[in-house]
Amino acid sequence: MTAMTARPNPDQCPAHIRIISAKSSEGFSPWYLLLGATSSASGLLNLLIVQWPILQCCRVVSSGRCFASLLGFIQVALQWSLFTIILVLYLIYFPAHLKYERVLPLPSTSHYGADESNAPVRAGASAAPAAAKIATTPEWRLAVALAWVVALHLGLLLLLELALLLTLPTQTPPHPLLRYLATFLGLSGTALAVLQYAPQIAKTYRARLVGALSLGTMAIQVPGSVAFVVSLLVREGTNWTSWLPYAVTGAMQGVLLVICIAWRRRQAKLGIDDFGNSPAEVENAANEHTALVD
């Protein structure tokens, strides 16, 4: 049975504040959020199986001892909730100019085989232009679809896990079915965590803008990952399989941080903000909004 190692949770609060203050989630990759949310959910469900006997013991032990025993589970639950909040804020503050687009319908054509040469034409008549329609963009539809995938992943696996935990006998080690499920959750969660930053790195590099990404969050994550990997290296009973996933994740976090710093310097030279707008454009947009409100 594989149990995901709990590490100190990076503070995601700067990312929450960044999105809310900017009133935009532009710059985030939906695939990054999908991988991060499913990875943290897999870790949470994995620990729920591993520490289920401890949860059962909380009925007879003191609350302080129970809290100390479940500290790792509480930490992973906090990590999952903080990252899920980013996904929710991403959908709430999805920028309107990326959410909707104007669609011009194709002009109507005559039916196949119709003789247009004999069709009557009224004097002064002209073809009316087709009216543009407002439709959602493929990017927004993808974001909504991936959010549903995250919800279904958590909901279905949680129902399956609770059904097994409540029907199978509580024992140490857990029942073979629970061990298989915990192993699947641990391995899949680790794989998703390793791949999590790849789509975000690609999106940020192509955009050449920082967007709504929080440099403060990344500045906390990178040193935290380094410290955690070092702690695993010097800890007894661990090998390369214990620290390698976190080392790869930390390295990708560092790459993303370096790219954002480079793009922030580029933006300063060009006189634009994190979303590619010049100060004049930002002021004009604010004036237009004020005029509409008044």
223-230 mean pLDDT: 86
pLDDT in tens, 97-118: 999 988 877 666 555 555 555 5
Question: Residue 128: pLDDT above 70?
Answer: no
Q: How many residues does the chain have?
A: 294
| For helices 138-167 and 71-92, angle between their N-to-C axes, nearest 10 degrees | 150
In this structure, is the dihedral angle defined by the CA atoms of residues 167, 73, 62 and 236, taken in order, positive or negative? positive
Numbers of helices and strands, H then E, in the chain: 12, 2
Q: Answer yes or no: are the C-beta atoms of 201 and 252 closer than 8 Å.
A: yes
For residue 37, the model assigns a pLDDT of 93
Q: What is the pLDDT of residue 291?
A: 47
Residue-wise pLDDT for 251-271, tens only, equals 999 999 999 999 999 999 999
Mean confidence (pLDDT) of the chain: 82
Residues 248, 193 contacting (CB under 8 angstroms): no
pLDDT tier for residue 239 given thresholds of 50, 70 and 90? low
pLDDT for the residue 101: 86
Q: Which residues of 15-33 are buried (b: 16+ CB within 10 A; e: fewer)?
A: bbebbeebebbbbbbbbbb
Q: Quick check: 237 pLDDT over 70?
A: no
Question: Containing H/E element for 41?
Answer: helix 30-50
Residue 91 has pLDDT above 50, yes or no: yes
At 51-69, the pLDDT tens digits run 888 777 777 778 788 777 7
Q: What are phi and psi of 208, to 5 degrees?
A: 55, 30
